[in-house]
């Protein structure tokens, strides 16, 4: 389902790029047609007045040349009417694909919610079975704990806790269930 969603998204992006390209071509075609008359007038001007004409109409001539170069470099032989038809077709298809993608997105969200709920139920069942297994016979649950008070500990700058023995002279890592005589040096 995810792959079809991303395929659809790629199709929409491809259509958007093609629409942008065709729109730019249409704009260049309009610019070409707008300044074509100025270029034709330049061809009819006498050589002695040509420089003066080019100075007066330099902006139009530059825009005409840019549009002509762009259309020539694109190499595509389609007409502006065909470009507009393709833009309309791609826009309609893009709208349909966008609606499909939104519906698919909602389905993906619903599937993800179901998956999370199933994972949570499985985790709860696993925890319940683990709790039932520990409270049964033979699992070593003691009625009286070894220590009733918390052992003192210090925090060290590089993380971790180091338990300090009751003798307070021992700096070894003793567990919380250590006895007074746990260390051979400070024992009895």
Q: pTM, whole model, 2 decimals?
A: 0.56
What average pLDDT score do residues 25-38 get? 92
Q: Do the beta carbons of residue 180 and residue 167 sit within 8 Å?
A: yes
* Top-ranked range on mean pLDDT: pick from 6-10, 73-77, 150-154: 6-10
Q: Do the beta carbons of residue 107 and residue 8 sit within 8 Å?
A: no
Higher pLDDT, 166 or 48: 48
- pLDDT at residue 73 is higher than 50: yes
φ and ψ at 157, to 5 degrees? Answer: -60, -25
Cα–Cα dist 89/84, whole Å? 9
> Looking at beta carbons, which pairs linking 65-72 to residues 24 or more positions away fall under 8 Å?
66/28, 66/31, 67/28, 67/29, 67/31, 67/32, 67/35, 68/32, 70/25, 70/28, 71/25, 71/28, 71/29, 71/32
Average pLDDT, the chain: 79
Cα angle 128, 132, 138 (rounded to 5 degrees) comes to: 150
- pLDDT at residue 36 is higher than 50: yes
Cα–Cα dist 137/133, whole Å? 9
Phi-psi region of 160 (alpha: psi -120 to 50; beta: other; left: phi over 0): left
Cα–Cα dist 39/65, whole Å? 9
Parse the chain into domains and list their residue ranges. 2-134, 144-188
- pLDDT at residue 164 is higher than 90: no
Q: Do the beta carbons of residue 25 and residue 71 sit within 8 Å?
A: yes
């Amino acid at each position: 389902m995810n792959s079809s969603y991303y395929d659809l998204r790629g199709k929409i992006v491809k259509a958007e790029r093609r629409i942008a390209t065709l729109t730019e071509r249409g704009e260049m075609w309009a610019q070409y047609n707008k300044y074509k008359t100025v270029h034709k007038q330049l061809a009819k001007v006498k050589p002695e007045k040509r420089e003066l004409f080019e100075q007066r109409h330099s902006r139009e001539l530059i825009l005409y040349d840019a549009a002509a170069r762009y259309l020539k470099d694109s190499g595509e032989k389609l007409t502006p009417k065909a470009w507009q038809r393709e833009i309309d077709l791609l826009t309609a298809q893009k709208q349909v694909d966008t609606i499909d993608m939104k519906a698919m997105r909602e389905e993906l969200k619903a599937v993800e919610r179901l998956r999370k709920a199933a994972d949570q139920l499985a985790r709860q069942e696993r925890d319940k079975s683990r709790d039932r297994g520990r409270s049964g016979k033979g699992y070593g649950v003691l009625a009286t704990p070894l220590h009733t008070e918390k052992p003192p500990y210090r925090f060290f700058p590089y993380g971790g806790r180091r338990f300090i023995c009751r003798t307070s002279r021992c700096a070894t890592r003793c567990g919380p269930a250590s006895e007074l005589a746990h260390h051979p040096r400070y024992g009895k």
